[in-house]
Amino acid sequence: MAMIEVVVGDITHERTEAIVTAANESLMGGGGVDGAIHRAAGPRLAEAGAAIGPCDPGDAMATPAFDLDPPVRHVIHTVGPVWDGGGHGEAEVLASCYRRCLEVADELSVSSISFPAIATGVYGFPAEEAARIAITITSASTGVQRVKLVAFDETTGDLLTAELARRSTVRTPLH
Ligand code: APR
């Protein structure tokens, strides 16, 4: 079970062993958080992404972190769902993004990972439901010890914090 922490800030400043980027299927970089991470990691990130892509929505693939400072060793690229009203499996694809990133992190023996609010920007996924999915999946069992959910704005941060508090106060009934 990982320790989950919500922070508000720029994910490129996080010092976890892996940093997740909300990519597009080409893995060659884009705008938003993907653009910020590619700028910080340098041009080799897009080359490495192109070499392993394309990546299906809901899947995750790792590359080295290149120019990102230690202890960041890996960038885990995941492709979120484009929100289309909620009736097209978007929630399942987003849950898969978080699950696959944790699986890839486990395979790399990563002990700490930072996530952005995947799909809640350009892809339009409602932030409240996305926060519920992020907390639900990262609360499940994983070998990763520390999970940081990095919001870029206070509203997203508040949603994640409220969801985390709600989950931690839910007690399993004593037998
Ligand atoms: N640090 C942390 N979070 C950030 C940063 C940053 N530097 N920059 C943006 N964000 C936040 C956004 O505010 C949003 O909450 O990341 C979240 C995800 O937004 P996007 O980056 O737009 O990602 P997404 O909605 O998944 O759309 C992906 O956008 O940039 C393109 O190539 C990308 O096509 C892909 C699409």
pLDDT, tens digit, for every residue of 134-159? 999 999 989 999 999 999 999 999 99
Known active-site residue 10: no
- The pick from 12, 28, 33 for probing ligand 1's pocket by mutation, whose C-beta has the most ligand atoms within 8 angstroms, reads 33
Report which ligand 1 atom has the smallest distance to the Cα of 80: 26
Question: CA-CA distance, 113 to 16, in Å (whole number)?
Answer: 5
Asked if residues 89 and 127 have their Cβ atoms less than 8 Å apart, the reply is: no
Question: CA-CA distance, 76 to 78, in Å (whole number)?
Answer: 6
Identify the three-state secondary structure at position 126: coil
Identify the three-state secondary structure at position 28: coil
Residue 174 pLDDT: 58
pLDDT digits (tens, 9 = 90+) for 115-132: 999 999 999 999 999 999
Question: Is the pLDDT reported for residue 173 higher than 60?
Answer: no
Question: What is the pLDDT confidence band of residue 175, given thresholds at 50, 70 and 90?
Answer: low
Report which ligand 1 atom has the smallest distance to the Cα of 35: 30
Which residue of the set 10, 34, 67, 106 is catalytic? 34
Ligand 1 centroid vs 34 CA: distance in angstroms? Answer: 6
Ligand 1 centroid vs 120 CA: distance in angstroms? Answer: 7
Q: Is the minimum distance from the CB of 121 to ligand 1 under 6 angstroms?
A: yes
Residue 141 pLDDT: 84
Taking alpha carbons only, the member of 84, 122, 102 closest to residue 17 is: 102
Ligand 1 centroid vs 49 CA: distance in angstroms? Answer: 17
